[in-house]
Structure 1
Amino acid sequence: MTQPLKSKLQGMLEVVYPSVDCDFLAEQLLATMGLAPNADAPPAHQNHWDETDVLLITYADTLQQPDEKPLVTLKRFLDECLKDSVSAVHILPFFPFSSDDGFSVMDYLAVNESHGGWPEIEAIARDYKLMSDLVINHMSARSRWFDNYKKRIDPGKDYFFEGNPKDDLSQVVRPRTSPLLNPVQTDDGERYVWCTFSEDQVDLNFANPQVLLEFAGIIRQYLERGVMIFRMDAVAFLWKEPGTPCIHLQQTHELIKILRLLIEHHTPDAVVITETNVPNRENLTYFGNANEAHAIYNFSLPPLLINTLVTGNCRHLKTWLMSMPPAQLGTTYLNFIASHDGVGLRPTDGLLTEDEKQRLINTMESFGGKVSYRRTADGRDQPYEMNIALWDALKGTTEGGADHWQLARFLCAHTIMLALEGIPAFYIHSLLATENDQARVEHTGRLRSINRSQWQLSQLEETLADPLTHHSKAFRELKRLIAIRRAQPAFHPNATQFTLHLGLQLFGFWRQSMRREQSVFCIHNISPEVQQVALSDINLIGTDRWVDLISGMEVDDLAGSITLKPYQSVWLSNQQRR
């Protein structure tokens, strides 16, 4: 018999808030979400995704047009250029903000009026699965809640986490080099607020259940405005306890379960994704027992794939892939190789040696990239992420520098991503092959601005219309590859995957559809040299007809071999679906 919703919720709350009246708190949360205490549970293993799902990541104002709100411009670009390519759109924080390009939110319930309004957000949500950030760890120091915190009035008085410089903070895991505690003058005297990321981003205090209630109300409004995918930003840092690392604490995992429970009872088709830029084994814990995140970011993929393509050696990428557990039904990976942030280095801990990391950093810096740092518990500064546009990250190799294989290498990276187990996500500047924006870095003073360019739509349309530009070549070919991918049942996010062993210059894996009607052997030359693939090494079934989905080439001699040019990929399938 299914446990009543209220009873289940109360049991979860008691783990987080043992000294609180959790019966009453459960009633408050259900009322806030508009849920009945005995609401039916959503069906297990919802069909949230299939092989047609492809996500676009963009800021609301990446594309601009004079005298037009950027959200209107974005919708037109989606409809005219990407309607047959993407099923979902992640619009990075579109709320009023004070810093960090949106991640220092001033008002969770408003749309930044310079971008548009809720009607424009809802228009996008009607035609695409809309993904929104839930910036849940921290809030702007210029928000009304924080003003009320300083005035010692509600709402806000006890909404922010306070620390004490005398506390044992030696174990705290830091993603930045800025001070953890910042002094603030309040009407009750000086207090020290906890700032994981910056002085303008003050951490919220989820030890106060009123903060959880506030976020339940925020989530309900997002759902009612059409948001179907929630990206829980920086959620790993949510719960703090001095004397601990203050990351991945059990209360954090329990709060994710609570929020997922509320979300999926309100809207069974909704999806929770956790953003946890941490070492791979730590990242995997956010699946829980298929009761936390529906999907997790595959944070190790970007640095490992870039490293593979600039070194011409897939050993580490292959080792990592073999170690990745198949996602349980109802969960999956979100695959990406570029985002609005830099390429994280913490996810390579235990996967690359320190010397290999430094060699990769040196290569990215030679290609115009920048490096940001974090402070370790012993006070040392360590490289945290590489800030570089993906187009420029793949302009050459560690041995020879820039070369003429940049476009081929760039396409190879995306062909690998498109075929891997999970849902592929394209950052808009990768889809457009945008270069490093050094001028924007100089203007903002922030390293991440290198990959946060803005396009005038008229200029972009002119650039894409010119078949000789690398932007046009990349955009057209990526759209073609996406269309091929979306027609293959073997590329369902949960379809079977096995790693192939083809040496260090050929990266390969096998996908088989869930009904076993299609197999696809995905083989990629990740080197600048021509490679031969012996078909006997991949055991193609002789009674089937095999064809490369990408080129249309038919395989006639299964005992022979195929030749792959530098950075060429093949998707050998026993069913041609194009």
Structure 2
Amino acid sequence: MKNQVQLITYVDRITNAGLKELKALLDDELQGLFGGVHLLPFYFPIDGSDAGFDPIDHVQVDSRLGNWDDVKRIGDDYDIMADLIVNHMSAESPEFKDVLKHGKQSAYWDLFLTKDKVFPEGLSEQDQAAIYRPRPGSCFSTYTLADGSTEEFWTTFTRNQIDIDVHSAAGKDYLNRVLARFDHSKVNLIRLDAAGYAIKKPGTSCFMIEESFEFVDKLAKQANELGMTTLAEIHSHHMTQVEIAKRVDMVYDFALPPLILHTLFSQDCQALTHWLEMAPRNCITVLDTHDGIGIIDVGPMDGLRGLLTENQIDNLVETIHGNSKGESLQATGAAASNVDLYQINCTYYDALGQNDLDYLMARAIQFFAPGIPQVYYAGLLAIPNDMDLLNNTHVGRDINRPYLNREKVQQAMQKPVVKALTQLIKLRNSSPAFDGRFTMASAERTLTLSWTAADSQASLTLDFANKDGLIILLDKQGKETQVSLSKLLAQA
């Protein structure tokens, strides 16, 4: 995996077309910016109830985007990350429809998880209360079979996403087929989507229990044997990320986005530096993704202290709502049909009140923090909250899932903040110092993040009180280059 910035994008939402057009965009307008691309679900269909995360056929490219040969062509020049949707599949899949038609006589009955499989003696109130769920209400959905009987299937996220029994032979075969398809199509990075929910056990939270760690460990090793790198996608207490990092190749640093916001809002970098001292080094860093801005990742959980106090989290959330002029409030929690309540739905750009310098400082921190940075397509182009899309779909996450096209991309790349950001990306990609050793120093309202390799150095010093940052680069010839973030923005 290249130690360069990666792009996160839906194929159709950035191009208004398919995989061939995305390849052209990467090679042309975005040339030199990205070493890899995370292709958000491109399976059939891309427009289900959860924007592709509810596949009817996980091994079929949606024909509106192209085919697996088009995926391979991107893989010829870029690292490709794809989602292995571990926990569930669509209720519209042929397999589940066969279950509804034939019940327990279906060849696919064992593929799906029912309440009875986990709780054969019945679900007690105590068991029910223990289950951790990312949305309110029951984690089961009742379906009527063709013979008139009913069955309660486990649906962690939405009614249309039926949980897989990953312990069954059918479940294992299903995941094996997806991995084999990835291997054949030059997908070399696997994002284990919702893996923390895949294992259910009576009397537990059914989320990131010890058996979950064992499952993720085994799945990661299986992918490694095929030459693929695994990335675990888990929103939880920050120490869970530290622990899971020992089991997989990479984890997300989901604590970083809210901590950077807290630091810029409060001008206090204590919580951020505390986290960077302990954060896993084998991580992918993000500020924004196709999901919202995670809050659970910095908060307390099950009696464990968080990276931020409850008061600090309240202030963080209220500041985001204020900066976005209340738009994030319309897209978050019970205000929209969200599948979770642990995040704030808002673009990162709007979370910072569309302040270009603050946004550039946030990206600079991300790029200098340990890990390989990913930049979401809407964040790359500083696209504001898409209130029209939100009002049309009433899906909270759509506020940060805009539909663009090549012309809109070209227009957005002329914005000063985007021009400055692309310069930061090129700087991050070109300096060999980021392959070296990371160090950090902080004072009351300043923070310095430094990288030192055998023949180069790179440092970022941030002054939160005066709102600026200074990058100093030293190459192997001893030549020093200084880059001020405020000047970089002014000259863009």
What residue in structure 2 maps to residue 402 of structure 1? none
1:464-519 deviation digits (Å, cap 9, x = unpaired): 3x4xxxxx222222221122222222212xx322220222x212222222xx3333
Match of 1:455, SS? coil
8 Å contact from structure 1 (residues 531, 566) kept in 2: no
What residue in structure 2 maps to residue 75 of structure 1? 23
Distance 1:425 1:478 in 2: 13
Distance 1:238 1:216 in 2: 15
| Cα gap change, 1:49 to 1:345, in 2 (>3 Å) | same
For the pair 1:324 / 2:324, whether they are aligned, the reply is no
Match of 2:356, SS? helix
| 278-287 or 157-166, which deviates more | 157-166
| Cα gap change, 1:531 to 1:162, in 2 (>3 Å) | closer
Counterpart residue type for residue 43 of structure 2: F
Report the alpha carbon displacement of residue 130 of structure 1 after superposing the two structures with TM: 0.9
1:170-199 deviation digits (Å, cap 9, x = unpaired): 111111114211111225722111111111
Report the alpha carbon displacement of residue 210 of structure 1 after superposing the two structures with TM: 2.5
Report the alpha carbon displacement of residue 382 of structure 1 after superposing the two structures with TM: 9.6
Counterpart residue type for residue 426 of structure 1: V
8 Å contact from structure 1 (residues 508, 521) kept in 2: yes
What residue in structure 2 maps to residue 355 of structure 1? 311
Correspondence 1:139-158 to 2 at 5 A: 139-150=89-100, 151-152=102-103, 153-158=105-110
For the pair 1:181 / 2:136, whether they are aligned, the reply is no
1:355-376 deviation digits (Å, cap 9, x = unpaired): 21111111211212136349xx
Q: 1:194 aligns with which of 138, 154, 163?
A: 154
1:293-313 deviation digits (Å, cap 9, x = unpaired): 211000100111112112222
Report the alpha carbon displacement of residue 520 of structure 1 after superposing the two structures with TM: 2.8
| Cα gap change, 1:181 to 1:457, in 2 (>3 Å) | same
What residue in structure 1 maps to residue 480 of structure 2? 547
Distance 1:58 1:532 in 2: 30
For the pair 1:86 / 2:34, whether they are aligned, the reply is yes
Match of 1:509, SS? strand
Q: 1:427 aligns with which of 356, 372, 376?
A: 376
Distance 2:361 2:441 in 1: 17
Counterpart residue type for residue 229 of structure 2: V
- RMSD value, Cα: 2.8
Structure whose CA Rg is larger = 1
Counterpart residue type for residue 207 of structure 2: I
What residue in structure 1 maps to residue 302 of structure 2? none
Distance 2:106 2:433 in 1: 53
For the pair 1:524 / 2:455, whether they are aligned, the reply is no
Distance 1:486 1:136 in 2: 32
For the pair 1:272 / 2:230, whether they are aligned, the reply is yes
Report the alpha carbon displacement of residue 383 of structure 1 after superposing the two structures with TM: 4.9
For the pair 1:501 / 2:434, whether they are aligned, the reply is no
Q: Could you state the TM-score of these two structures normalised by the residue count of structure 2? A: 0.87
Report the alpha carbon displacement of residue 462 of structure 1 after superposing the two structures with TM: 3.6
Correspondence 1:9-20 to 2 at 5 A: none
Counterpart residue type for residue 300 of structure 1: A
| 516-525 or 430-439, which deviates more | 516-525
What residue in structure 2 maps to residue 391 of structure 1? 349
Aligned residues: percent identity? 26
Match of 1:476, SS? helix
Q: 1:166 aligns with which of 76, 101, 123?
A: 123
Gaps of 5+ in 2: 117-121, 300-305
| Cα gap change, 1:546 to 1:359, in 2 (>3 Å) | farther
Correspondence 1:273-292 to 2 at 5 A: 273-288=231-246, 292=247
| Cα gap change, 1:506 to 1:193, in 2 (>3 Å) | same
1:243-294 deviation digits (Å, cap 9, x = unpaired): 1010112332222232222222222xx2100000111101122223xxx321
Distance 1:132 1:272 in 2: 10
| Cα gap change, 1:567 to 1:248, in 2 (>3 Å) | farther
What residue in structure 2 maps to residue 453 of structure 1? 402
What residue in structure 2 maps to residue 60 of structure 1? 11
Distance 1:72 1:278 in 2: 36
Counterpart residue type for residue 102 of structure 1: G
Report the alpha carbon displacement of residue 233 of structure 1 after superposing the two structures with TM: 0.3
1:89-124 deviation digits (Å, cap 9, x = unpaired): 101001123211111111011111222222222221
Distance 1:512 1:155 in 2: 57
What residue in structure 1 maps to residue 204 of structure 2? 244
Q: 1:137 aligns with which of 76, 87, 90?
A: 87
What residue in structure 2 maps to residue 212 of structure 1? 172
Counterpart residue type for residue 80 of structure 2: L
Report the alpha carbon displacement of residue 83 of structure 1 after superposing the two structures with TM: 2.8
Distance 1:295 1:86 in 2: 19
Structure with more of its chain in helix, by fraction: 2
Distance 2:202 2:308 in 1: 31
Distance 2:10 2:181 in 1: 21
Counterpart residue type for residue 461 of structure 2: I
Correspondence 1:422-501 to 2 at 5 A: 422-464=371-413, 466=414, 472-492=415-435, 495-501=436-442
Distance 2:394 2:61 in 1: 26
For the pair 1:365 / 2:321, whether they are aligned, the reply is yes
What residue in structure 2 maps to residue 301 of structure 1? 256
Distance 2:15 2:309 in 1: 42
8 Å contact from structure 2 (residues 462, 470) kept in 1: no
Match of 2:375, SS? strand
For the pair 1:334 / 2:334, whether they are aligned, the reply is no
| Cα gap change, 1:383 to 1:157, in 2 (>3 Å) | closer
Report the alpha carbon displacement of residue 141 of structure 1 after superposing the two structures with TM: 1.1
Distance 1:530 1:133 in 2: 37
Counterpart residue type for residue 64 of structure 1: T
Q: 1:407 aligns with which of 346, 356, 360?
A: 356
| Cα gap change, 1:100 to 1:531, in 2 (>3 Å) | closer
Report the alpha carbon displacement of residue 528 of structure 1 after superposing the two structures with TM: 4.6
Match of 1:166, SS? coil
Distance 2:274 2:245 in 1: 21
For the pair 1:258 / 2:218, whether they are aligned, the reply is yes
Distance 1:211 1:484 in 2: 44
Counterpart residue type for residue 273 of structure 1: L
| 258-267 or 230-239, which deviates more | 258-267
Distance 1:435 1:235 in 2: 31
Distance 1:175 1:339 in 2: 17
What residue in structure 2 maps to residue 11 of structure 1? none
Q: 1:229 aligns with which of 183, 189, 199?
A: 189
| Cα gap change, 1:303 to 1:567, in 2 (>3 Å) | farther
| 135-144 or 520-529, which deviates more | 520-529
Report the alpha carbon displacement of residue 139 of structure 1 after superposing the two structures with TM: 0.9
